[in-house]
Every structure is written in C-alpha cells, then in structure tokens.
Structure 1
C-alpha cells in the first residue's frame, strides 16, 4: 500500500497487538502490517483479577456442596438418628439419575426465563456452533452426572468422588501437551496436593476406604475425563461465547439427553410432590445455574487447571456442612485433607502472575 510521503521524514512503531508503521525517505511511504504473535491458551488469562477467578471457582464448589447436602436431606428417611436435624428429612424414594435429569430440565427452564428478561443476546449463535454446544451439554454436563452416579452404584461415594477429582491431572496434561499451557513446578505440586487432600476428606485413606471394581473404576475414570472435558471446553470457548450462552445451550442439550434416556414421564413425576418439587427447584438454581455459571466465568480469569484444583474444596465444604446440619462426625483426617486442598489452591497461584495478558470479551 503506497501513501504520499510526509513533509518531514519520521518513523513510528508499535508493539504487541498493534501493527508496525514505517515512514521512509523515499517518495512513497510503505506500511508493513505485521501479524501479532499467536498467544498460547495460557496467555489468555488476565493477571489483574485472579482473585475474582478463584472466588468464582470457590463459589461454584460451595454451591455444588450445597447440592449434595440437599440431596442427602431429600433421600434420608426419618429415624432416631435424624431427630436432631434442624429440618426433618423428606425420605423421598427417587433414583439419583431421575433427580439429575429433573434438575437439569428445571435449571434450563429457569435460565431461559431469566435470560429472556435480562440477556436476550445470549441466545444468538451461529449454525456451526451447534455441534460444539451440543457436545458441551451432553458430554460435559449430562455426561459428568451420569458417569458419577454409575460409579456410585458400582463402588461407593468416596471412590466416586476421588475418581472424579482426578480431573485436574487430566486438565494439566492436556493443557500442557495440546493447548499450549505453560508447565511450572507449582501446577503438578498443586494438583497432587488437591488429589491427596480430597482422598483424606472422602475417607479413601481411612474410614470406609475405597471400593474398587473393574466396572466401577472404568465409570469413575470416565467421570474424571468428562469433568476435565467440561473444564477445557469452557476454557477454549471463553472468547467465543458468554458463559450464559454456553450454559443455556449446554443445559438445553443435557435436558434432551435426560428426556431421551429417562423419558419425560419419569422426570415430570418428580414434581408430583410439593416438597420434592421445591427441593429440585432449589437444586436447579443453587447447585446448577449458579455454580456452573460461576465456574465458566472463573475460566475467563484463571486457567482450567487452577479452576479445577480450586473446585476440589467441594468435598471438604460438604463435610463441614454435614457436620453443622446433620451432626455428622468431622475427623482430624478430614480437616487435614481440607488443609491440603487449601494449600493446593495457594500453590497453583504462585507462578507467572506478571506474564499473562487479558482475555478479550466474546463478540
């Protein structure tokens, strides 16, 4: 591209994301446009608000823990052991998969109604985006719950939780090997601390211990893979979609999955009882819409490895909640596990705080 020469020879340049502009002493001026260097995935996280990212990840973990406590209250049958509970248990006989499907469908309806009032632009997507969002909903949302419940049915809760929270290891490996994330000493140390802490909290290294079968191990590892898939997909798509767009379409496709798997009648039967319906709606908001939105928002501020490490505080929060609400025992081993998880969250924050650049907002 040629422009008339300015009256006085001069040169100007800019670095980073701006182009290079050069004025020469020749009769014409040449503008050389230099493409900005490609950024790695790790370079897309803003250093100025990491605290917000960790707070959002911790909010997600807190809400997920509340969902587990609500499910315990929902499923437990009244007895002498529950006489001291602040609210009598419901003792509802409902399959966990049916509860998960009803929760997903309820969360989808609630989120759609809220977005119609506040953020109608969240529904705008292009046709080529549909397969990605469908995979996110079916694999990343419905798939995680389905494999988790299958693991519980074949092992026990401690084994299912521990296997699912192997996800940070997978996120770290995939991120470094395929997505250009930086590898620093703090990341594997933090991941190891979080997994070890989770093992202490759920009683894998004491208490009932692990119950392992080949089928249970396979389903448990599948739940870890799908949780890692959810985290990485949310990270990759953070600059393409708002968290609300991802979540509303993800829940929509997850709802379709549950409707096809369970049948509409099974899901609708949950709402035949007022108390059960109220509990499901509470879980739809507090343990689905809020935490999944918060986790996706966190992925705009911190890398997925860090976010998944922070989420491993969930079992500890659930244990503390069960101690406060249901007077369950809280052992020294569990407290030690919680300390290890907190240490892991601190450790993964140590490296590279000054070397990352902001993530641009989605179009």
Structure 2
C-alpha cells in the first residue's frame, strides 16, 4: 500500500473518532461538568491508558533521548494540551458545529505557513481543496433554518486558539516524526500536558464528585476521542505533509453531521448536504494531487 494511502486511512480513522466525540463532550457539559475538569481528566486518563499499554506490550517505545524532552514538552503543552482545552471550552460556550468549524480554520493557517516559510508549492489542487473544505464547513454550520455560528466572545477567542494550536501541533509535530515513533511522541505529550493541567486543576478537585456514568464517558473520551485518534493523526502525519494532513482532517464535521443524523435523528438540510459534498470533494482533490504538488 502506498504511504499516502496509509496516511489517508489513518486520518479517516482519527477524524471519525473525533467526529463522534464532540457530541459526547456536549452531553457532559449539559450535565454541568466543568470544562477545566474534563480536560484534566481526559489528558490524565489518556496518559495512563497509553502508558499501561506501552509498558505491557511495547516497552521499548517508552525510551527517549534527553535532547528530545524539550521538544516533547513544547508540543505536549503548547500544542495538544492547549488544543484540547480550547476546543472543549469552545463547545461549552457555543455548540459542537461551531467549535468544529472554528477549529478547522487550521488547514488555512497550515497552508499559509507552508507557503510563506517552508517554500511549499500551493498549486491549483491545494487551493481548490482549501476553498472547498472551508466553504463546506461553513455551510454545515450555517445551512439549517435558524442555524448559524453560535458565537460569543469567549467562544470565538477559544475557537481561534483551538485552530492555531491544531495548526501548531500539525506543523511542529511533523518535525519530530523523523526520529520519534508517533506513539512515543503521544505518550510524552500527554504526560507533559497532564502534569500542567493537574497543577491548574489538582486531581482532588477535578476528579471528585462524578457519577459512574460520567466516568464511563470520561473513559470513552480518553480512549476513543484522545489516545486512538491522536495516535492515528500522528501516524497519518508521518506519511503526509502538514498541508495534506490538515485538509484531509476536515472530514471530521462530515462524520459529526452523519452521526448526528443516524444516531440522534438530526435532519440534514440541502445546504448542509452541499457542505458535506464540498468537503468530500476537497478531500478527494487533495488525494489526487499531481506528483509535483505533494511535497515541498
């Protein structure tokens, strides 16, 4: 199987899991779970789950060089941990669709950075994919009667922060994958992120007073909305450029809309269906790049 095809399927797995998880998070917020508590529990459980798995089955992946620790700390705290908080906080302040749309402004940021600072070519296929995915995301949010961006100032700011941090860990994360295994990278990123968030929200505050049902939701989010999708994302990033990775990941709002329709019975209106079709067309376009546009 071609590396680009492997990368594509890893990203489909990641975005599918993320597409489901936003609804789960919103359920917890509707039960008055504090976003700060949720992000602390999420990243701490994710670290412990991944640590246990690697310690039992792949202990060699626990080892890193001392010179890599600063890189992993920056990526974990400034990228993944901050992104998780800002995204969840945006959901708590707005709605899932708005949070997803704001976060997926990131591919535009990644593309601009790659063009301006890395010399990556921005040919017609990439530009077309960028326009289709951004426009499709907007139509998914804004295409229902009475719909639209549910934005207040805190939600807007945190949503933009989630876009910037997603762009950051996509670009900066690519840097270390030439020498670090994706699962090793993820473990240490979760570890540094958990360390910081447990200082801001001590475990004796964040982890008490929750019901058994809420803890089942927390475990689901840790495994199926964090460890696996982030792992798949970094595995996909290992095979693809940051620009192609970012554009392909915009499948998440399509998955989220489809799950809401199938599971919750939420209707899809014509403009929203058009938005889904535009994103799919954009993702297909980016997978059919001419060879000279694929890399820097």
- 8 A Cα contact 1:159 1:211, kept in partner: yes
CA distance in 1, matches of 2:229, 2:44: 16
1:48 aligns with 2:2: yes
CA pair 142-160 structure 1, distance change in 2 beyond 3 A: same
CA distance in 1, matches of 2:261, 2:156: 29
Which position in structure 2 is the counterpart of 1:346? 284
- 8 A Cα contact 1:190 1:309, kept in partner: yes
CA distance in 2, matches of 1:156, 1:72: 8
CA distance in 2, matches of 1:179, 1:189: 20
**Secondary structure of 2:238's aligned partner:** coil
1:160 aligns with 2:99: yes
Match of 2:12 among 37, 45, 58: 58
TM-score normalised by L of structure 2: 0.91
**Secondary structure of 2:239's aligned partner:** coil
- 8 A Cα contact 2:123 2:293, kept in partner: no
Match of 2:258 among 314, 320, 327: 320
- 8 A Cα contact 1:190 1:348, kept in partner: yes
Match of 1:68 among 22, 39, 59: 22
**Secondary structure of 1:198's aligned partner:** helix
1:256 aligns with 2:195: yes
Provide structure 2 residue ranges, at least 5 long, that are not aligned to the other structure: none
- Please say which of residues 287-296 and 152-161 is displaced more in the overlay: 152-161
Equivalent residues in 2 for 1:138-287 (5 A)? 138-152=77-91, 155-203=94-142, 207-212=146-151, 215-269=154-208, 272-287=210-225
Deviation digits for residues 64-118 of structure 1, max 9, x if unmatched? Answer: 1121232344455xxxxxxxxxxxxxxx331133122211111110000000012
**Secondary structure of 1:68's aligned partner:** helix
**Secondary structure of 1:210's aligned partner:** coil
Q: Which has the higher contact order (CA 8 A, sep 6+)?
A: 2
CA RMSD, Structure 1 to Structure 2 (Å): 2.3
Q: Per-residue deviation at 1:308?
A: 1.3
- 8 A Cα contact 1:165 1:224, kept in partner: yes
CA distance in 2, matches of 1:328, 1:283: 22
Which position in structure 1 is the counterpart of 2:69? 130
Q: Per-residue deviation at 1:156?
A: 4.7
**Secondary structure of 1:300's aligned partner:** helix
Deviation digits for residues 7-31 of structure 1, max 9, x if unmatched? Answer: xxxxxxxxxxxxxxxxxxxxxxxxx
- 8 A Cα contact 1:69 1:321, kept in partner: no
- Please say which of residues 52-61 and 143-152 is displaced more in the overlay: 143-152
TM-score normalised by L of structure 1: 0.75
1:294 aligns with 2:248: no
Deviation digits for residues 142-168 of structure 1, max 9, x if unmatched? Answer: 111222244445555443322211100
CA pair 125-204 structure 1, distance change in 2 beyond 3 A: farther
CA pair 242-326 structure 1, distance change in 2 beyond 3 A: same
- 8 A Cα contact 2:140 2:272, kept in partner: yes
Q: Per-residue deviation at 1:301?
A: 1.5
- 8 A Cα contact 2:141 2:147, kept in partner: no
Name the one with the larger helix percent: 2
CA pair 128-350 structure 1, distance change in 2 beyond 3 A: same
